[in-house]
Amino acid sequence: MISVSDGQARILAQVTAVAPPEIVPIGRCLGRVAAEDVRSSMDVPPTDNSAVDGYAVGAADIPSTGRRGLDVVAELAAGTVFDGALTRGQALRIMTGAPMPAGADTVYPQEIVTREEGRILVPPIERGANVRFRGEDVKAGAVVLAAGTVLRAQEVGVAASLGLAQLVVAQRPRVAILSTGDEVAEPGTERRPGQIYDSNRFALRGLAETAGAIAADHGIIPDVYDELRRSLLAAAASADVVLTSGGVSVGDYDLVKAVLGDVGTIDFWQVAMQPGRPIAVGRIGSAHFFGLPGNPVACMLTFHLFVRPALWKLAGRRDLFGSGCHAVAIEPMRKKIGRREFKRGILSYTGERWEVRTTGPQGSGILTSMTTANCLILIEEERGDVRPGETVWVEPFGAA
Ligand code: AMP
Ligand code: MG
């Protein structure tokens, strides 16, 4: 029996190869991973500019009390530049984003000035007010996105603000997904007596794509040694990672382990977790292989714990694990000491604190527990039963 953490460490130690990066247009970079540091060649913003629509003035023209009259000498729209310089007693009508003219260091919002014919009356104001300074967002030469950063909407926006039309990103790992089992039927086909519909292939595909991989569907493979052998070899020839579900327990038709030992190298573990069955980990040629349990919740959970970090490492990501937080359990939770247990949870905020309860029955075949849940509740190995009011660790779904 090995622990979840030891299993994760053993897998990550195996995953080293990172495919050469590729160049992708900025508009298609969402969700990709920066393969190299992105350094700015310019200051952003490139010049001091006005943060409001109003009037630019020099500090010497700001009255300390009362009001002062200034001549409005020109008008400046965003995207245009004032060639001259303001002198004493002068103000420039300026729009948001327009560069500050020489001789000005402060902008009056138009709402606080009184306008007269060709002149304005201005009150006291803090020197430098309403000016956005050159380089206050990004300084030339700064590393704005470090290699290994996932490009969310904001990272894509920042890269574009540097004028970059394309980025060097890691290639997406290719994942081949197979289901095993004579009892597994294709959705949309007639189900024979004793059969269940395949859910794992589709859940795994969603998980793989959400993790940034390119998924290829290799169908359902019956519990026939030679067919499984042929299918695994074909999958491994075309993918960086091969995922199967089912056939890794100790039943008479659980062939994955034997076939993996035949066509590749095998590591077969009992992981001290619940839900969780044995998983088969290994290699077939250059592909990483994960034989996940057939029970749908265990299948999704073992992907989350063992496959996703491997895919993220293959994709060049810096952070390989998601985040979580503490919440107060509001119902008792059964827990066996010595293994890590994962309950499907419903996390909510009361206005004062974060609370969590389970979704109800926690059988590893109850896939709807994943649809009613919004988080996983992680209860550590050394803990026993959880009483209401105790704190537990939760990992919200969607928190990467
Ligand atoms: P196995 O490890 O192959 O004995 O499978 C364990 C349990 O998971 C059995 O109840 C299977 O019917 C179920 N199962 C296996 N594969 C799938 C699948 N692709 N979709 C849904 N359930 C499955
Ligand atoms: Mg099976």
Write out pLDDT tens, residues 67-93: 999 999 999 888 889 999 999 999 999
Proportion of the chain in helix, strand, coil states, percent, rounded to 5: 20, 35, 45
**Rounded to 5°, angle at Cα 168 from 145 and 10:** 80
* Residue percentage of the chain with pLDDT more than 70: 99
- Atom index in ligand 1 nearest the CA of residue 179 equals 19
Is the predicted pLDDT of residue 400 greater than 60, yes or no?
no
pLDDT above 60 for 113: yes
Q: Which atom of ligand 1 is nearest to the CA of 295?
A: 8
Residue 187 has pLDDT above 60, yes or no: yes
Q: Is 123 exposed, middle or buried (0-12, 13-18, 19+ CB in 10 A)?
A: middle
What does the alpha-carbon distance between residue 123 and residue 64 come to, in Å, rounded to a whole number?
8
Q: What pLDDT score was predicted for residue 196? A: 97
Indicate the top mutation candidate among 177, 178, 184 to test ligand 1's pocket, ranked by most ligand atoms within 8 A of CB.
Answer: 184
Mean pLDDT across 43-62:
96
| 277 has pLDDT over 80 | no
Q: What is the mean pLDDT of the chain?
A: 95
Residue ID of nearest Cα to ligand 1 atom 15: 294
Residue nearest to atom 6 of ligand 1 (CA): 294
> Distance from the CA of 233 to the center of ligand 1, in angstroms?
22
pLDDT band at 253 (very low <50, low <70, confident <90, very high): confident
Q: How far is the CA of 205 from the centre of ligand 2 (A)?
A: 19
Q: What is the pLDDT of residue 252?
A: 78
Q: Which of 179, 245, 254, 257 to mutate to test the pocket of ligand 1 (most atoms within 8 A of CB)?
A: 245
Smallest Cα–Cα separation from 341: which of 305, 292, 310? 305
Q: Are strands 38-39 and 143-145 parallel, antiparallel or unpaired?
A: antiparallel
Pocket test for ligand 1, best of 295, 300, 301, 366 (most atoms within 8 A of CB): 295
* Cα(344)–Cα(170) distance, integer angstroms: 33
Q: Check residue 251 and give its pLDDT.
A: 80
pLDDT of amino acid 43: 97
Quote the pLDDT of residue 80. Answer: 85
Q: What residues are in contact with ligand 1 under a 6 Å CB criterion?
A: 179, 181, 183-184, 196, 198-201, 245-249, 251, 293-296
Cα gap 56→127, rounded to integer Å: 11
Question: For ligand 1, what atom is nearest to the CA of residue 201?
Answer: 19
Q: Is the pLDDT of residue 399 over 80?
A: no
- pLDDT band at residue 267 under the 50/70/90 scheme: confident
Q: What is the pLDDT, as a whole number, of residue 50? A: 96
Distance 159 CA to ligand 2 centre (A): 48
| Among 275, 263, 198, 199, residue whose Cα is nearest residue 234 | 263
Q: Binning pLDDT at 50, 70 and 90, where does residue 17 land?
A: low
For residue 292, the model assigns a pLDDT of 96
What is the pLDDT, as a whole number, of residue 67?
A: 96
pLDDT of amino acid 203: 98
Give the percent of the chain with pLDDT over 90. 92
What residues does 241 pair with on adjacent strands? 175, 288
What confidence tier does 19 reach under pLDDT thresholds 50, 70, 90? confident
- Residues 6 or more apart whose CB falls under 8 angstroms from that of 236 comprise 176, 242, 263, 264, 284, 285, 286, 287, 289
